[in-house]
Chain A
Amino acid sequence: MTILFHSNIRNLMIGQGIVRGLASTVAVTIYSGAQPSAATIASTWSSFNSGNASFLAHFNGVGWTHPIDGTTTFASITTFPAPTPAVNTGTGAWCIVWTTNPLLAAMGTGTIPTTSFLVGPVTNLAGNGIVRFNPNTDFTIAVNATIADGTISASST
């Protein structure tokens, strides 16, 4: 028999495991291309800093909460950042949700702002990205982009 966890563990994972690991507002960076492993990002940050063409946009002040007094099995964005100009042109495919709120100026160095982060997909509203855009995930350099919504779900863990 495999150890069985009651389904309430999902609420714990989102509330205590994820959301409490994030600052009240954090940064989210959008990238093009294939989603790499988190370990790859941490170990080869120079391939992902803002000097790379795949680095499309960087949002500050994103607030994630666990809705309805923690009774859901997902966290969602409830504090939205201001529209933010894209850094490069491309199609967003994945993102880093940082546990802190590093500014864009801190994203261009050879040192990763923090090794504590989450990685997940980016989609339009028809997809199941953890950060979504409307109507598509196309970014144009210097043109403002706006996050439509965001959800981190534990419903299939």
Chain B
Amino acid sequence: MATIEMSPGFVNGYVTRMHSLSTFTGAPASSILSRASTSGLLTSTFNSNYSNTSNTYFYIMKGTVPVNFSTLVNFNARSADVLITYVTASLAPGDFSPTIANVNPSNITTNYVNATATGTATWFWWTQRATVGGSVNGTDALVQQVIGTVGIIGSGADLEIPSVSIVSGSAYRVNNLRLSWPTSWVF
């Protein structure tokens, strides 16, 4: 098998670009896949053409944990299960200001945000929308998505929190969610 490997000197820039924290995604793209090639996981928006609301939405969710992306066809697919929402801002990290996105592994940390609903957290849904309302060429498809389980500390969940009982109006943050990016692969 052929192996491609990044040098240590390449990796930090690579991780930075994969997040694109505080960076605008660029001009309108011809398709979701085209936009996906430039939209880092913490991309921001820029101007009125793309709204000053965020492109990146990180949700703490309740309900059944998806096992794949087949049902997550747009950003409203599980809107009834949203407990907490963390967003980036226009050319700024927004709720993700404590995040360290230029080293491998990256460290995703947010500011405290009030929950908007009460329920038992079971999974997180990290999404990257295309433009205003999530549209590219009239669709509301998502550019990037990441999902993982949420559980109490010691549970072995992908994101562990002290209590999964989320109360509307109470403040919560994501703290030290570490992502280790691949620096070599076979093909």
Chain A residues in the interface with B (C-beta under 8 A)? 1-6, 8-9, 11-18, 20-21, 35, 37-39, 41-42, 66, 69-71, 99, 114-121, 123, 127-130, 152-157
State whether the Cβ of B34 lies closer than 8 Å to any Cβ in chain A. yes
Given the complex, which residues of B lie within 8 Å of A152, measured CB to CB? Answer: 4
Interchain Cβ contacts under 8 Å between A and B, 12 examples: A6-B69, A8-B32, A12-B36, A12-B40, A14-B37, A15-B37, A69-B29, A69-B31, A71-B31, A117-B9, A119-B7, A156-B186
State whether the Cβ of B18 lies closer than 8 Å to any Cβ in chain A. yes
Binds A, one of B81-89, B109-117, B145-153, B163-171: B145-153
Interface size class of B (residues with CB under 8 A): 35 or more
Given the complex, which residues of B lie within 8 Å of A3, measured CB to CB? Answer: 146-148, 158, 179
The reply to whether A17 and B14 form a contact with Cβ atoms under 8 Å apart is yes
The reply to whether A42 and B9 form a contact with Cβ atoms under 8 Å apart is yes
The reply to whether B9 and A116 form a contact with Cβ atoms under 8 Å apart is yes
The reply to whether A11 and B2 form a contact with Cβ atoms under 8 Å apart is no
The reply to whether A115 and B31 form a contact with Cβ atoms under 8 Å apart is no
Given contacts A6-B146, A157-B185, contact A12 B39 (CB under 8 A): yes
Tell me, rounded to whole Å, the shortest Cβ–Cβ distance linking A22 to chain B.
10
